[in-house]
Structure 1
């Protein structure tokens, strides 16, 4: 197992280099003036342009720019924006909020989605099965901002006043439950359908029928034989979904006025702050890579037939 982990970590290095270089090139290789509109209606001062070009290494070839940026990134320096704001400080303030909300969304979609998928997979063609299929189809068809707006309107003080839907600048876990549910609602529907399909397919497998023929209890057949093998595609989806949740939090954070990574990405794109966008997307790439490694390791836990040499 240790040798496999080391080999997978080494494999992540060229993937990280390739993806981050592609991101950097897409942001900085576009033929446009990076200082357009940075100084209001008037053109920027040549001294300011020269200073920022040197600080951002804009005078160097693209490949040299990238490796200089990568060297600073390794030391924890994400650079500064055209306004002199530290990208690292902005990320350190907003990142924990979005990470917390993303993990809450992941837990909610895993618990509700897997539970619904198991119940409907074991009792297909029943009332509960039809109810879950219709509910998940409804969630899939609704945009996330509509789900967030409706829940905030009807659950908040303007509606039935069931819960406080406001989110503070330093939100607690309780304040992020509703935004986390909204963020993970679409993925929750996919998890429920994926779990149901996997359960239905594996119920007809030979090892399940053999376990039933041996007279093993229903709980053991479902929990040990059926569920562990059926969860492999679900775990794969959940592992890669964490990065998608954090990268796609722009709409949810906008609905609930949350100062997270999504807002930073939106402002970075709007204000054409390439250094901000590059730093945040690079961080999301790391989340994707580490999540994929964790998923690979969980395969051996779920399926005893999988062994890493």
Structure 2
């Protein structure tokens, strides 16, 4: 297991370098004047543009800029915005809010999606199975902003069950509805994947053998059937945390959550490329860490994987 973990860690290094350089190159290649609007309605004077260009080394090649950025990044320095604000402070303020929202969404989609998938996989073609299939298709077909606005208007404005917007305290009770909205599509996919996996493995020889040996159905499902059916579900859940954090722009905008989604949108509109790069680099780290955890869970669920 230790050798398997070491090999997976070494594989992350070129992936991290390649993805971060690609992100850096794409963001800094976007056309437009980064200093447009920084001096109000009038154009910025040449002295200001030259000073900022020299300060942020914008006149150097992309390789030099990327090397300086990575050198500072390994020291924990994310750089500054054109306005002089530390990007690390922006991430430290907004990142926990998005992470909290994403974890709530992940818990909701895992609980509801996996439960629905297991129940419908064990009893296919019944009323519950048809209900889950129709509901999941409905959630997949509807855009997130439609689900978000409808739930905000119905539950928050019409019925008064929830607050239409999330407060600065970010209580768990306030994040349940935004978390459901954010994870609605993934929840539907998890329910369908779990249903298919459970239904296929239920016809396997080891399940029939366990039933023939007289094992209780709860043990057959919980120990034998569920463990061997979790690998595709673990894949979706593990990689979904980064996707939820990166795709929270719409949900955070609807429910007024001060997270990295809003910060990315604000940075894009104001052409704060350094902020965009730093936030996306953090999301890349989340993806890599979650992929590593998924691989380790693979090895734990199926020991044959670690020896391949």
The DSSP-based 3-state class of the residue aligned with 1:258 is coil
TM-score (normalizing by structure 1): 0.96
Distance 1:130 1:174 in 2: 30
Gaps of 5+ in 1: none
- 1:47: how far off? 2.3
Q: Is the 8 A contact 1:57 1:65 kept in 2?
A: yes
Trace 1:10-29 onto structure 2 (pairs within 5 A): 10-29=10-29
- 1:218: how far off? 0.8
Distance 1:91 1:17 in 2: 21
Q: Give 1:207's aligned residue.
A: 206
The DSSP-based 3-state class of the residue aligned with 2:88 is helix
Q: Is the 8 A contact 2:117 2:191 kept in 1?
A: yes
Distance 1:25 1:163 in 2: 43
- 1:134: how far off? 0.7
Q: Give 2:59's aligned residue.
A: 59
Distance 1:9 1:50 in 2: 42
The DSSP-based 3-state class of the residue aligned with 2:43 is coil
- 1:161: how far off? 2.2
- 1:198: how far off? 0.6
Distance 2:300 2:135 in 1: 32
What per-residue deviation string (whole Å, max 9, x for no partner) do you get for residues 31-55 of structure 1? Answer: 5433233323322122222222122
Q: Does 1:78 find its partner at 2:78?
A: yes
Q: Does 1:193 find its partner at 2:182?
A: no
Q: Give 1:241's aligned residue.
A: 240
Deviation >4 Å, runs of 4+: none
Q: Give 2:3's aligned residue.
A: 3
Q: Give 2:264's aligned residue.
A: 265
Q: Give 2:100's aligned residue.
A: 100
- 1:304: how far off? 4.2
Q: Is the 8 A contact 2:113 2:187 kept in 1?
A: yes
Q: Does 1:37 find its partner at 2:33?
A: no
Distance 1:170 1:6 in 2: 40
What per-residue deviation string (whole Å, max 9, x for no partner) do you get for residues 259-279 of structure 1? Answer: 111100111111111011101
Q: Is the 8 A contact 1:29 1:62 kept in 2?
A: no
Q: Give 1:137's aligned residue.
A: 137
Distance 1:127 1:42 in 2: 66
Q: Give 1:163's aligned residue.
A: 162
Q: Is the 8 A contact 1:165 1:178 kept in 2?
A: no
- 1:145: how far off? 1.0
The DSSP-based 3-state class of the residue aligned with 1:255 is helix
Distance 1:169 1:33 in 2: 34
Alignment: residue pair count = 308
Q: Give 2:172's aligned residue.
A: 173
Q: Does 1:297 find its partner at 2:301?
A: no
Gaps of 5+ in 2: none
Q: Does 1:47 find its partner at 2:47?
A: yes
Q: Is the 8 A contact 2:238 2:293 kept in 1?
A: yes
Distance 2:303 2:130 in 1: 33
Q: Is the 8 A contact 2:264 2:276 kept in 1?
A: yes
TM-score (normalizing by structure 2): 0.96
Distance 1:196 1:280 in 2: 36
Q: Is the 8 A contact 2:162 2:174 kept in 1?
A: no
The DSSP-based 3-state class of the residue aligned with 2:191 is helix
